[in-house]
Amino acid sequence: MPALSYRLRRGQGDARGTIVLYHGFGATADDLFSLADLFDPAGEWNVFCPQAPVALQYGSETFGYAWFPERPDELQMAMTGQYFHDLPDMQPEGLVRGAGTVRTLLHEQNLDSSLIVAAGFSQGAMMAVETAVQSRIDGLVLYSGALIARDRCVERSGQFHGLPVLQSHGSVDEILSIASGRDLRDMLTEAGALLDFHEFIGGHTIPETMIEATRRFLQSVSLRDSSEER
């Protein structure tokens, strides 16, 4: 995997922790980075937005990036949506390798010594879940995601037990169906996650109400950590 580029906003003073924001299929690191000041207006958290390694191109022009798939034929299927029909039974190499690479970057930047909240939109939400599968984190924020690598998640279900999770999904999402979001919700619930699920009337997006919900979620993760320290 090529070296990942990223955007980073360090928190002021002694940051509470690090929010890892994974963008979705066809986007860039800048897309979610623009939300940092809305999630955390006081600048109390580090915000780390990695950019996926797979360039999506039309002719010679790159119009976005993806975490997976990587093969040209599968990328072509992904452009039409056909690739994503059997997500629960998939375990793409880019999913596993990408999350591992991001954890290495966090360590290199000394961003992994305190609280870690993994967050993402769409394909980025799948990356956030994989981050929790691979290592201990302190919270998950999942916007318009779907269950992927079901067997792997079930096998490592202990990673989700007691984990605070904020999840949202639109009831008329035409990209990743509400059913796929509910499947993810059910897996997390069965694994013992502390899940706050928001189903809203809308499509494949992050509604404004979830910005405030995310801000409250980050505060609750901080308070929970302080309580456990005592």
Q: Can you give the three-state secondary structure of 94-156, one letter per residue?
A: HHHHHHHHHHHHHHHCCCCCCEEEEEEECHHHHHHHHHHHHCCCCEEEEECCCCCCHHHHHHC
Please answer whether residues 161 and 155 qualify as being in contact, where contact means their C-beta atoms are separated by less than 8 angstroms: no
Per-residue pLDDT 10s for the chain (230 aa) are 567 999 999 998 889 999 999 999 999 999 999 999 999 999 999 999 999 999 998 777 888 999 999 888 888 888 777 778 889 999 999 999 999 999 999 999 999 888 999 999 999 999 999 999 999 999 999 999 999 999 999 999 999 999 999 999 999 999 999 999 999 999 999 999 999 999 999 999 999 999 999 999 999 998 886 556 53
Please answer whether residues 130 and 149 qualify as being in contact, where contact means their C-beta atoms are separated by less than 8 angstroms: yes
- CATH number 3.40.50.1820 given to 6-229: yes
Helix, strand, or coil (residue 169): strand
How is residue 84 written in tokens? 């994503």
* Residue 196: closest CA among 205, 185, 206: 185
